[in-house]
């Protein structure tokens, strides 16, 4: 499942990403398990400012999200789309949404930590691997980034497993700090151990 918003891209400095892909739950919005209710959508601290900074610089924005509630019969694609619309009402438009509707045992290639969602997003956006970053709150997000060959930044929260934090190549305390690190407009936050 995907949805693209066509837009005009401007040139960005070579050191910056041309696209940043975000996990949805626990990264952009509060993690409400199997949420199909738009009224329960609450932005994470700093998410709006982070996205605004990227939009100001003409960087493409996408969401790559596992939504196994569809496979489990807890959500419909229409529920997921209603939440997407509410996220965009609160945080602004994204260039692309790519959602995996499969369950953990379905063996698909799109469910994170597999790289399929990221590969699909990059194909639609026409962005190179070395000009893409993924920001997420759990190990599966940064593992998918690594598997796809793109930079991953972990923004842990209270639900993130400490072992995933230890294993991450780069962490940041907030989504805004992660974006500032990508743009080089603030001191690196968290651990910077390469890509």
Q: Which of 23, 95, 137, 143 is catalytic?
A: 23
| Rounded CA separation 66/89 (Å) | 21
Which among 38, 6, 43, 8 is positioned nearest to 22, based on CA atoms?
Answer: 43
Which among 41, 24, 55 is positioned nearest to 155, based on CA atoms?
Answer: 24
**Whether 23 is catalytic:** yes
Which among 134, 19, 164, 150 is positioned nearest to 66, based on CA atoms?
Answer: 134
Neighbours of 158 (CB within 10 A): 7
Q: Which of 25, 79, 141, 143 is catalytic?
A: 25
Q: Active-site positions?
A: 23, 25
């Amino acid at each position: 499942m995907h949805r693209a918003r066509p837009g005009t891209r401007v040139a960005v400095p070579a050191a910056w990403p041309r696209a940043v892909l975000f996990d949805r739950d626990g990264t952009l919005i509060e993690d409400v398990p199997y949420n199909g209710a738009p009224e329960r959508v609450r932005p994470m601290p700093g998410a709006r400012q982070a996205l605004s900074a990227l939009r100001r610089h003409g960087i493409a924005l996408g969401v790559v999200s596992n939504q196994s509630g569809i496979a489990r019969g807890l959500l419909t694609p229409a529920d997921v789309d209603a939440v997407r619309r509410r996220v965009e009402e609160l945080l602004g438009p994204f260039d692309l949404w790519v959602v995996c509707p499969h369950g953990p045992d379905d063996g698909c290639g799109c469910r994170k930590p597999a790289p399929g969602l990221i590969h699909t997003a990059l194909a639609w956006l026409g962005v190179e691997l070395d000009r893409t970053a993924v920001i997420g709150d759990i190990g599966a997000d940064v593992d998918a980034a690594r598997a796809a060959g793109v930079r991953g930044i972990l923004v842990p929260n209270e639900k993130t497993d400490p072992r995933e934090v230890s294993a991450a190549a780069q962490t940041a305390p907030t989504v805004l700090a992660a974006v500032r690190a990508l743009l080089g407009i603030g001191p690196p936050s968290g651990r910077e151990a390469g890509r």
